[in-house]
Amino acid sequence: MQKRTLGRGGLEVSAIGLGCMGLSYGYGPATDTRDAIKLLRTAFERGVTFFDTAEAYGPFKNEELLGEALAPVREHVVIATKFGFADGEVARGMDSRPEHIKQVADAALKRLQTDRIDLFYQHRVDPNVPVEDVAGAVKELVQAGKVKHFGLSEAGAQTIRRAHAVLPVAVLQSEYSLWWREPEQDILPTLEELGIGFVPFSPLGKGFLTGAISETTTFDTTDFRNVVPRFSPDARKANQGLVDLLGGIAARKHATSAQVALAWLLAQKPWIVPIPGTTKLHRLEENIGAAAVVLTPGDLRDIDAALAKITVRGERYPPHLQARVGR
């Protein structure tokens, strides 16, 4: 697989990474450990070198899983993890106090079975801690050799600038896809100006853009899509036109809808690296195959023209979660 560089600090990763959250958290019951390890190691064998986790995924279980699965190939992969929630519990709210960041780093190093964190994100901006203090704490971890690169997640443009002035931000991670294009307004121009890489999570619209989800699909009771307005049955029915559009383009390109959605992201900027997640080996292979799908300038114009006629229904988060983003 081709490589891409995120930020100006030389962080080189595979053009498509792997979002690992769903193996342990958020989308129903955790994947069997043996199956999850097989998937992670297969991803590496197929060229994926960029793996995304967080202490909050479980909490802690996802980091432990990656630590075990990637130990044999640790020197050949980039592991990103995150800090920022009290005791790793999303429900307990944010905690990015400098002393807590350092505690999380030390605990994550043990769980990941490694001596350094390649990319350390603030999971969400903490309104109670100046981002300059956050960047300063990570800077000390960089100086100590425990962290290689600093990242932010779902931060607004001004926060990015303030953090970057203290410690260069290598990566911003936020949602971006064919059905959530808000980052194009302020975020992408800011990142381009500052030389910061972009890692879109939910690049397949939390599964919707694959075409495998319809208005009648039901989710496990622990699946967080149950509380996402965009996944209400009415919204799914209204948004089917976007999936149909993707399917038509995919047929012409001899690809799948998911592959076109990922290829579209890759075509936006050379410093964008999507991290689709999956628990299934065949979906992993499909997602990796997107790196070989080439969309021409004409294809991209056609997609943009078609998207301009489609209004996506439903908010991407319920209000209590939306309040944590874009700060």
Alpha helices, DSSP H, located in the chain: 33-45, 61-70, 98-111, 131-143, 157-166, 187-194, 233-238, 240-253, 257-268, 281-289, 297-307, 319-322
Sign of the Cα torsion 20, 121, 175, 44 reads negative
Q: Which residues contact 247 (CB under 8 A, 6 or more apart)?
A: 211, 257
User: What is the Cα gyration radius of the chain?
Assistant: 19
Task: Answer for the pair 26, 53: CB distance below 8 angstroms, yes or no.
Answer: no
Least Cα distance to 81 among 128, 17, 37, 165 occurs for 17
Helix 240-253 vs helix 257-268: crossing angle, to nearest 10: 90
317 is catalytic: no
**Which residue in 25, 57, 121, 176 is the catalytic one?**
57
Give the span between the Cα atoms of 271 and 223, in whole angstroms: 31
Write the CA distances from 327 to 7, 157, 318, integer angstroms.
21, 8, 16
Query: Would you please indicate which residues are annotated as catalytic (active-site) residues?
Result: 57
